[in-house]
Amino acid sequence: MIIAEQKSLEEIKTLIGKAENILVVGCGTCVTVCFAGGAREAAIVASSLRMSTKLDGNGKNVTDVTVQRQCEWEYLDQITDRVADVDLVLSLGCGIGVQAIAEHFPNAWVVPGLNTSFMGMPSEQGVWDERCAACGDCILGLTGGICPIARCSKSLLNGPCGGSEEGHCEISPDVPCAWQLIYDRLSSVNKLDTLLEIQPPKNWRTARHGGPRQIIRPDLRLASEED
């Protein structure tokens, strides 16, 4: 899922600027699960803003609402009236949610309340780790289910580099070396010979480097009127 974390209240207040009527919009999917922008967080942010602006001597009118998914039009339709009533929307969705609101409500001014961090999972309670870089050409079949694109600091395809020590990456003792993990995993399933193959340069076109990406599924598209 998408992992995000909240911006500081100070930064949020700067983004809000002079707006007086504010709608905080939470999202009921990924950012709810990672405790960054669900209904609970939206209520807390709204209340914090009310208190903080009141203490500043300029109490603002802040309300909140949470939709199931900010990244789908049908859920955004449900808050059309609420959005029309305010002069600023503070989205607690991921970057996709913020952009969906901007696109769906052309007259609304929307600002982000979160920093969208990465695609990952909770590795333990209160800890989230990156797992996927959405490169568009999955190689997990070669690496025993551990992604070097997302998890090696240098995205090596023929690792490990010389900076691997005691299982961690050269950048920090807190960062596991992805290639040590790959090595251990392939070793445990008797597939170390996979690592002897030289992996050729990656086609990065399927990653962001080929420009913005789009998937079109003709089988799922609704027939246009002309058809």
Partner 1 sequence: MNFPTMSDEPSVAANGYLTGSTLERVLKAGHFAITAELGPPQSADGEVIRQKTALLQGLCDGVNITDNQTAIVRMSSIGAGTIVIQAGLEPIIQMTCRDRNRLAIQADLLGAYALGMRNLLCLTGDHQTFGNHPTAKNVHDIDSVQMVRMVTDMRDDCIFQCGDKFKGQEPRFFIGAAAAPFAEPTEFRPYRLAKKVKAGANFIQTQLVYDVPAFARYMEKVRELGLHEQTYILAGVGPLKSPGMARYMKNNVPGILVPDELIDRMSAASKPWAGKSKDELTPEDKKARSAAWKEEGIQICIELIQQLREIEGVAGVHVMAIEWESAVKPIVEGAGLYPRPEV
How many residues in the chain?
227
First to last CA, the chain: 37
Are 4 and 116 in contact by the 8 Å Cβ rule? The answer is yes
Positions in 144-203 near partner 1 (CB under 8 A): 153-167, 169-172, 177, 180, 183-184, 192, 195-196, 198-202
Q: How many CB atoms lie within 10 A of CB 66?
A: 23
Q: CB of residue 177 vs partner 1: minimum separation in angstroms?
A: 8
Distance CA 19, CA 217 (A): 41
Q: Which is nearer to partner 1, 59 or 176 (CB)?
A: 176
CB of 11 vs partner 1, minimal distance in Å: 18
In the complex with partner 1, the residue whose CB is nearer, 20 or 184, is: 184
Cβ atoms of residues 28 and 67 within 8 Å: yes
Give least dist CB 144 to partner 1, A: 14
Q: Which is nearer to partner 1, 196 or 215 (CB)?
A: 196
State in angstroms the smallest separation of the CB of 99 from partner 1: 22
Ramachandran region of residue 204, left (φ > 0), alpha (ψ -120 to 50) or beta? alpha
Under a CB-based contact definition with an 8 Å cutoff, are residues 112 and 95 in contact?
A: yes
**Interface residues for partner 1 in 30-89 (CB under 8 A)?**
none
List interacting residues with partner 1 (CB under 8 A). 153-167, 169-172, 177, 180, 183-184, 192, 195-196, 198-202, 204
